[in-house]
Structure 1
Amino acid sequence: MAELLHRLGTFAARRAWVVIAAWTLILAVTVGGFLVGFKGLSSSFDIPGTASGDVIAQLEEELPDFSGASGTIVFSTEDGASLSDEQRREIAALVESALDLPDVADVIDPFATSQELSDRRQQVEDGRAQIAAGREQAEGGRQQLDAARQELEAGQAQLDAARAQLQAAPEPQRSAGLAALDPQQARLDAGKAELDAREQQVRDGLAALDASEAELERGAELLSYADGIRVVSDDGSTAIVNVSFTEPRLELAQESKDAVIEHFEGTPIDGVEVGISTDISQGIPEILGVGEAIGVAIAAIVLVVVLGSVLAAAFPIVTALVGVAIGAMATLSFSGVIQMASVTPFLGVMLGLAVGIDYALFIVYRHRRQLLQGADVVESIGLANGTAGTAVVFAGTTVIVALLALNITGIPFLGLMGTAGAISVAIAVLIAVSLIPAFLGLAKGRVLSRRARERAVRAADSADTSRSRVRPMSGLRAVVTVVVSIVALLVIAIPALSMRLGLPDGGSEAEDSTAYRAYTITEREFGQGVNGPLLVTADLPEGLDDIQVQEAQLEVARVLAAQDDVVAVAPVAVSDDSRLAAFQVVPAEGPSSESTERLVRDLRALPPVDGDITLGVAGQAAINIDISEGLADILPLYLTVVVGLSFLIMVMVFRSLLVPLVATGGFVLSLFATYGAVTAIFQWGWFGPLLGIHQTGPILSFLPVILVGILFGLAMDYQLFLATGMREAFVHGSPARLAVAQGFRAGRTVVIAAAIIMIAVFGGFVTSEAVIIKSFGLGLAVGVLLDAFVVRMLLMPAVMHLLGRSAWWLPRWLDRVIPNVDVEGAALERRHPAHH
């Protein structure tokens, strides 16, 4: 490896323009690929095979009108007064014309809906009045029938008495008298039959009234559960327009969302402010902004201080930007083939900038140091590429392995993010070992100032005495350093014990954003839960008629409404075959709250309603839970794979078992301390206003997994550059504890500079308005800060000192098996001395 990189470095130094032209061509090809292949990004996240995903798939099949994406437009008067008739007409006109927008399935007029709900409530009251009137009328008819029956019974009694008297009369008179009574009996019998028929009519009418009343009361009870669902506020100042799309959330084109935003915001209504929910307005954040530029500027200042030359400092910046451009555009070129989340390119940009600058710094720093010792320019470039470049390749490999391992999670958007980041890191490595030597070859000796050369001469005169002043730390200092470092990291990690995972909602958006406006107005006027309603499905038994379907809906609604933290329940649809019913459930709090998460779990744990109606739960809170649980389940496996593979790489590099163990243990401490710091800031609200965080909430669900991969890779970078210097000193004959001090002194400047650069670059992303990007930037910046300065600069040297010679122990059988990669480049230096 070292020899190959040496040859590459000397070739690039001698044929600089060829290498520069090659990278320029690669950049041009990726630009062309981007212009042709970029088809947009998605602002949604999903994990296949989850409970909420299964519910959405069922809706797509049986109730497709409810399976598409949806969002809300909030109209509110600026002065808090009721919406005027003119304002209502303008809103209604916008609603009607929005039906023609691309991918829009339906737009609900809030005023028509509110009036419809009011009419239905009035219909219930009218129905009750009609039934009461019908009962009163039936009761009056029944009384009349009772009076008529009494008259008939009296007539029958008289007829029976006459018939009895005739029985005692002589025969001719009796027969004639009885014959005369027969017509009267016939009239009485006819009257009784008519009364019986009229009584049956009354009974039938009362039965119909009972049935109508039962149906009316079922409808009224269902309607009562939906009382908490409103689309026009009580004071009339605010109205919510619901927009549903034909395409599912993950497949909805950004252009369709933008068209809705433009439609409702592009036609302002006098005196009315508009807010658009995150489901629609959450777009693609800017990749680079002012904060990122400031981060790069800080990195440039650090480079000038460390390298002592503006020209030398410019090389890492330029090559990093070239690498970021190639990596980001190469990734985005495939967006038309593979669905990409909006955060996909950011990981590559963050890492591309940070490691691109750092890796170039390592090589330029080594080359500059050799020039100061009098080395030939071309030979120094080759040697720097073969030594520092080998370390760069192995450090980059560790990061790439960690990022590619995200694919084992089985979560498509996460695996794609890891792949995109790995591509950017790979490009940064390739550029560092090819384009940097080309630039150095063109610069020749101009990377050194005259003042730097003069300082080098003075330093060479006192080199022996300076080397003799290096002393190993005392045992007491080492023990104190270990204890203080570990305790400090554990204290910082304490908040991680209460870490909650989720996805950001509108309340975490920028305070001047339309999404935040929609979220806060909705919460104020309609309640927190309206910002995150749940969609509950019920699998109904086969063969139900309309009445049985309504009764089943009522049973389900009763169960749902009886749950804690449920504000309202509304049946929204039944499939054509009456096998699937859908309900909207409004929780008491927002989608990221603990109570809503608990409600989702409780609903999913319910037994089948009436023994045969099973429930399913979807909605933002349910999706949050599914994604968080899915990520939590794969985190141990991912951590095992990443740490295992990287441990093998470090064993091969350091030819030791204890050094990789120390490195890994230190990483675990810094990782949990990073989790604690992120939890304290984003969930507890510490330093929130200072960092532009105005609302606390759960930690981004996939942030812990991402931090594992990236921070482990970056931690091993610093471990590599410090520990290889220690091993080099040890191999060259220094006592183990002295070698620790010598290696640390040799590598501390470049590692400190590299860490500051990474912190500055990652910290630049904290200024992003997107909470996802902000949490990424802050997590990575804090992680590098803790790992580089506490673990690598304090804890690791102290532990290595305490281990002494045993730190480099390796079983003989393993020593024979693993290849010797010679990251220090000792063999290369013997074959290619930098100066003669």
Structure 2
Amino acid sequence: AGQEPPSSELFGLIVAIVILLLAFGSLVAAGLPIVAAILGLAMGQMGVLIAANFLDVATFAPTLAAMIGLGVGIDYSLFVINRFRQAVFAGRDAKAAAMESVETAGRAVLFAGSTVIIALLGLFIMRINFFNGLAVASIVTVLFVMLSALWFLPALLSLLGTKSLALRLPWGKKRGQVHPEGKAWAHYGRFLQRKPIIPALVSIVIVVVLAIPLLSLRLGFSDDSGKAPGTPLRTAYDLMAEGFGPGVNGPFFVAVELPKPNDAAAYAAAVKAIESSPGVASTLPSSAALPIVLANPTAFGADGTIGTIMVTPDSAPQDEATDALLSNLRENVNPQITAQTGAKLYVGGQQAIISDFTSVMTSALPLFLLVVVGLGFLALVLLFHSIVVPLTAAITSLLSFAAAMGVTVAVFQWGWLGDVIGLAGTGPIFPFLPIMVFAILFGLSMDYQVFLVTRMQEEWSRTGDNSASVRRGLAGSGRVVVIAAAIMASVFLAFVPDKNSMIKLFGVSLGSAVIIDAFIIRLIFIPSIMSILGKANWWLPGWLDRILPKVQIEPGEDEVTDDEQLVASKA
């Protein structure tokens, strides 16, 4: 409701078009992924509207789904058309190239999209309606953009034929001769392999440094002090805090269950104990006002067993001191009052609800990570016929997630670069952000892992040469991973200027996650560590290798090249 024109989506599309024009050198080829992604996104958004009639869907869910759908939709279509383009330049007929793009890159898109959906399905583990709505909105959008890349785009490529690469720009390649790709990427792979331990260590150090702020992560909901200055909510917050103290914006409400009807002594003891607790600015009633309250025959309800106390902290709602006060009331004051009088305290209020919600998220996170990472690991074992490669993929996904959350804490909690992105104020990180970011990031990181390592796996099966396999994997997919990650990051970062703090937060988190995972982990660390591990990358128990089906995804060997000729010419 009240949504502004989708300027963020438009800006993300413009950046994606520029990147695709530079990559493909053809107006038509650059436009096809955009067309397919928009079609899938439109269908997905209609699916979200339908789902909203049956589920509780957050108001920002359509925007978040659009952010995710636009990014993955362009990426999935990019993988298919890039595979089509490689086949055409390798001398294939256009229709045969379209069919081959579905049978190879299309399988990778299906696997990648399914991984994203499985990761998002993991949100149902939380058993919270709020997450169910977000999960369904994102899943429906990803499903439709994936189907658009698998069904609509190949049909369009077959219909257009060689016109799919028409309107060539000056830097675009000409058709009519074989153009195996990837020599520069193979040479980059050889550069990494000279001393692979160095790029591996450097990349890990960078990721670990970026992850350091994660140690200061505070989960919670920002109060109105984070709103833009001059807005009604921010003005009201400031005036209330100035006139009555910062705690008036987030009081606690305590229900006192008395041991017997109209037990005035127990109620008075609870009021005095809370009033004297550190961090309490005032209580209502105060100990001085107790005679007035006790004079009211209905003060403790109809049955005389429930009393109420409003507690105003001396700190702002999102301050750590307020959380400490809540813990003290529940863990220390309540047992003390129960031991003395038999009364029980139940502390509620907005800040208490937020704290409880955060605790639920924190306790469910390990199980969520275990399920999502475990399923992803098993899927990669099936695809790669290896134990080490899926293990490194799972571990590095967690590293990318930690680094992205570190960047998020530095920006939104510490205020770094806050002026650059138009951040009105700092505060704790929304408790559902880590779970949503990991669900999305894990699926995306598996996309890049699949497109890089499947080519390496095929070369290993063909030659048994690990070093050459790594180079040819980069030759076959390094370029498309860079393009895909650049588009994905651009789409996510395009939402950073959004006035909605929730969308801004997701934009920074997901944008930084894609940049870190693709450009540091997948394109530097993974080739380096695989070069170090050598044959161990492809170890799998023989009995398991025999029963697992073999899946071919990436292009044939005539469509990519190594850098042997370049190295030989320099020798």
**TM-score w.r.t. structure 2 length?**
0.89
Residue 661 of structure 1 corresponds to 391
Residue 82 of structure 2 corresponds to 365
Which of 246, 250, 256 aligns to 1:528? It is 246
Check 1:306–1:538 CA distance in 2 against 1; reply closer, same or farther (3 A cut).
same
Alignment partners' CA distance in 1, 2:17 and 2:468: 34
Which of 2, 6, 12 aligns to 1:295? It is 12
Residue pair 1:653, 1:823 contacting (<8 A) in 2 also:
no
Residue pair 2:24, 2:172 contacting (<8 A) in 1 also:
no
The secondary structure found in structure 2 opposite 1:286 is coil
Which of 315, 321, 331 aligns to 1:589? It is 315
Where do 1:193-232 residues align within 5 Å?
none
Residue 732 of structure 1 corresponds to 462
The CA deviation at 1:441 is 2.9
The CA deviation at 1:702 is 1.0
Alignment partners' CA distance in 1, 2:73 and 2:18: 16
Structure 2: runs of 5+ lacking an equivalent:
286-292, 294-298, 560-571
Where do 1:475-486 residues align within 5 Å?
475-486=193-204
Residue 565 of structure 1 corresponds to 279
Residue pair 2:90, 2:180 contacting (<8 A) in 1 also:
no
Letter in 1 for 2:144: I
The CA deviation at 1:512 is 4.4
Residue pair 1:600, 1:622 contacting (<8 A) in 2 also:
yes
CA RMSD of aligned residues (A): 2.5
Where do 1:144-183 residues align within 5 Å?
none
Alignment partners' CA distance in 2, 1:465 and 1:415: 46
Residue pair 2:125, 2:368 contacting (<8 A) in 1 also:
yes
The CA deviation at 1:563 is 1.1
The CA deviation at 1:798 is 0.3
Alignment partners' CA distance in 2, 1:508 and 1:543: 44
Residue 546 of structure 2 corresponds to 816
The secondary structure found in structure 2 opposite 1:767 is coil
Letter in 1 for 2:106: G
2:364 is the counterpart of 1:638: no
The secondary structure found in structure 2 opposite 1:567 is strand
Alignment partners' CA distance in 2, 1:765 and 1:307: 25
Alignment partners' CA distance in 1, 2:52 and 2:503: 20
Which of 377, 384, 409 aligns to 1:679? It is 409
Which of 249, 261, 265 aligns to 1:543? It is 261
Alignment partners' CA distance in 1, 2:370 and 2:379: 14
Which of 517, 535, 538 aligns to 1:787? It is 517
2:307 is the counterpart of 1:577: no
Alignment partners' CA distance in 2, 1:363 and 1:668: 28
Residue 509 of structure 1 corresponds to 227
Q: Which moved more, 1:463-472 or 1:720-729?
A: 463-472
Which of 141, 145, 148 aligns to 1:428? It is 145
Structure 1: runs of 5+ lacking an equivalent:
1-283, 830-836
Q: Which moved more, 1:662-671 or 1:635-644?
A: 662-671
Q: Deviations over 1:60-94 (max 9, x none)?
A: xxxxxxxxxxxxxxxxxxxxxxxxxxxxxxxxxxx
Residue pair 2:51, 2:136 contacting (<8 A) in 1 also:
no
The CA deviation at 1:357 is 0.6
Where do 1:321-336 residues align within 5 Å?
321-336=38-53
Residue pair 2:91, 2:178 contacting (<8 A) in 1 also:
no
Which of 674, 698, 705 aligns to 2:428? It is 698
Q: Deviations over 1:569-593 (max 9, x none)?
A: 1149642222212221111122211
2:121 is the counterpart of 1:400: no
Residue pair 1:406, 1:414 contacting (<8 A) in 2 also:
yes
Letter in 2 for 1:732: R
Check 1:471–1:352 CA distance in 2 against 1; reply closer, same or farther (3 A cut).
closer
Alignment partners' CA distance in 2, 1:631 and 1:295: 31
Q: Which moved more, 1:783-792 or 1:330-339?
A: 330-339
Number of residue pairs matched by the alignment: 541
The CA deviation at 1:565 is 1.2
The CA deviation at 1:467 is 10
The secondary structure found in structure 2 opposite 1:768 is coil
Residue 749 of structure 1 corresponds to 479
Structure whose CA Rg is larger: 1
The CA deviation at 1:336 is 3.4
Check 1:765–1:471 CA distance in 2 against 1; reply closer, same or farther (3 A cut).
closer
Query: Which gives a bigger RCO, structure 1 or 2 (Cα 8 Å, sep 6+)?
Result: 2
Check 1:521–1:291 CA distance in 2 against 1; reply closer, same or farther (3 A cut).
farther
Residue pair 2:56, 2:133 contacting (<8 A) in 1 also:
no
Which of 35, 40, 52 aligns to 1:318? It is 35
Residue pair 2:69, 2:141 contacting (<8 A) in 1 also:
yes
Check 1:374–1:823 CA distance in 2 against 1; reply closer, same or farther (3 A cut).
closer
Q: Which moved more, 1:509-518 or 1:296-305?
A: 509-518
Q: Deviations over 1:276-329 (max 9, x none)?
A: xxxxxxxx5737632332122111111121122222222222222222222222
The CA deviation at 1:472 is 2.9
Which of 259, 263, 269 aligns to 1:555? It is 269
The secondary structure found in structure 2 opposite 1:336 is coil
Q: Percent identity?
A: 37
The CA deviation at 1:460 is 3.5
Alignment partners' CA distance in 2, 1:466 and 1:578: 82
